Amino acid sequence: MVFKAFTSFLSRRVIKTTILAYQGLVTAFSGQEAFRFELAIFLISIPLAFFVAQTNLQILLLLAVGILVLIIELLNTAIELVVDRIGLEINKLSGQAKDVGSSAVFLSLLLFVVVWTVIIIDNFYLSRLFSR
């Protein structure tokens, strides 16, 4: 009886959480051009990762950095929405909060570019250079 009640509660909680997560993705997609762009880049990078990578670990790494960019963009969007909710008047702390969120997105994009570049150079340039 207790197990059935627990699993029922758990399944309701998982369904509610999934619905809220979906709503968050819809909000970000509909309201944030940056998120749409980064999502498009990620979707393009999925098949490319299977072409570029030579190991499963490389595939995981290439896809993980793309997901990381999306996660950080979602967090940045949340920060911006909360700051805008508080007030649209110019405030130094509000501006700093938005700037820090944007910096996090920038660093995640930089990491994405570095990881992809290193793996591409390693797999296509260095492997040919040393295989002679």
Residues belonging to the active site? 73
Report yes or no: 66 and 42 within 8 Å, Cβ to Cβ.
Answer: yes
Cα gap 34→32, rounded to integer Å: 5
Torsion from C-alpha of 3, 4, 10, 13, nearest 10 degrees: -150
Residue 52, classified by CB atoms within 10 Å of its CB into exposed (0-12), middle (13-18) or buried (19+), is middle
Rounded to 5°, angle at Cα 76 from 64 and 36: 65
